[in-house]
Structure 1
Amino acid sequence: MHNTHNTAFFDDVLKASYAEPVVVMFHASWCGPCKSMKPLIERLATDIGFTLVGVDAGTERQLAASESVRAVPTLIVYKDGKAVGSPSAGAKTETALRTFLATAGVWA
């Protein structure tokens, strides 16, 4: 997972989402559930084949607010330049993550 900041969000996420789904994980350095979920979502990105981008909601507050992030971790799927489905807030099990990704059309 590479981290992006507000000025790179267009290229790293919105523009890239025209080629393949991009899953953005809004996280914070102090967030224990974020740290525990990170290796799982990174493995799923490799196994399923989607782009994973991290945004530190603590340092990128304006970007997080513009995407209506109210808690961390929050996952948002972007396709064709826009967010799709509902964001997923809170730590998730692998089964819950797979369901979230399937519902958002990342994989079948």
Structure 2
Amino acid sequence: MATDAHGGASGQSIDEPLHIESENHLEDVVDDHGVVLVDFHADWCGPCQMLEPVLEGLADETEAVIAKVDVDEHQQLAGAYGVRSVPTLVLFADGEQVEQHTGVLPADRLRSLIEGYTE
């Protein structure tokens, strides 16, 4: 398969948040990329909206893939990861869940988390 750690089959890095469509889609993204930060969010969530530009910046600035899961559309997927409130951020490295944080984290803290697994 002609994929790489950064951009999948196209060979380009993913520099904007990727919207997850299903549990299988999330599994494929986690399997295909070295570091994936998943944002479990909801449209009605104020803190989630505050986090949006931070995540867009991280998608552009880091090697990690930023994935977004709407908890209202994907309740079972959110439940599978124990998401009880939003935003919840789940970090995967090499296919394994390595971190989970609830609430808004500052951009520098998120960047440090990601860089801890991409270097």
- Normalization by structure 2: what TM-score? 0.75
- Looking at structure 2, the residues matched to 31 and 4 of structure 1 have their Cα atoms a distance apart, in angstroms, of 18
| Matched residue, 2:25 | 8
Whether contact under 8 Å (1:16, 1:22) holds in the other structure is no
> Counterpart amino acid of 1:29?
D
Count, aligned residues:
102
- Looking at structure 1, the residues matched to 82 and 115 of structure 2 have their Cα atoms a distance apart, in angstroms, of 22
| Matched residue, 1:53 | 67
- Looking at structure 2, the residues matched to 102 and 5 of structure 1 have their Cα atoms a distance apart, in angstroms, of 26
Query: Which runs of no fewer than 5 residues in structure 1 stay unpaired?
Result: none
Q: Which has the higher contact order (CA 8 A, sep 6+)?
A: 1
- Looking at structure 1, the residues matched to 38 and 112 of structure 2 have their Cα atoms a distance apart, in angstroms, of 16
Q: Which is richer in helix?
A: 1
After superposition, residues 11-30 of structure 1 pair within 5 angstroms as: 11-12=28-29, 14-17=30-33, 20-30=34-44
- Looking at structure 2, the residues matched to 96 and 41 of structure 1 have their Cα atoms a distance apart, in angstroms, of 12
- Looking at structure 1, the residues matched to 112 and 86 of structure 2 have their Cα atoms a distance apart, in angstroms, of 19
- Normalization by structure 1: what TM-score? 0.82
Using the aligned pairs only, state the percent identity.
31
- Looking at structure 2, the residues matched to 78 and 50 of structure 1 have their Cα atoms a distance apart, in angstroms, of 9
Deviation at 1:102, TM superposition (A): 4.3
Deviation at 1:2, TM superposition (A): 1.8
2:113 alignment partner, SS class = helix
- Looking at structure 1, the residues matched to 95 and 110 of structure 2 have their Cα atoms a distance apart, in angstroms, of 22
Q: Kindly provide the CA deviation profile for residues 12-42 of structure 1, in whole angstroms up to 9, marking residues without a partner as x.
A: 2x3223xx20111110010111111111112
Query: Which runs of no fewer than 5 residues in structure 2 stay unpaired?
Result: 1-16
| Matched residue, 1:93 | 106
- Looking at structure 2, the residues matched to 70 and 100 of structure 1 have their Cα atoms a distance apart, in angstroms, of 22
Whether contact under 8 Å (2:35, 2:114) holds in the other structure is no
Residues 1:57 and 1:106: Cα distance change in structure 2 (over 3 Å)? farther
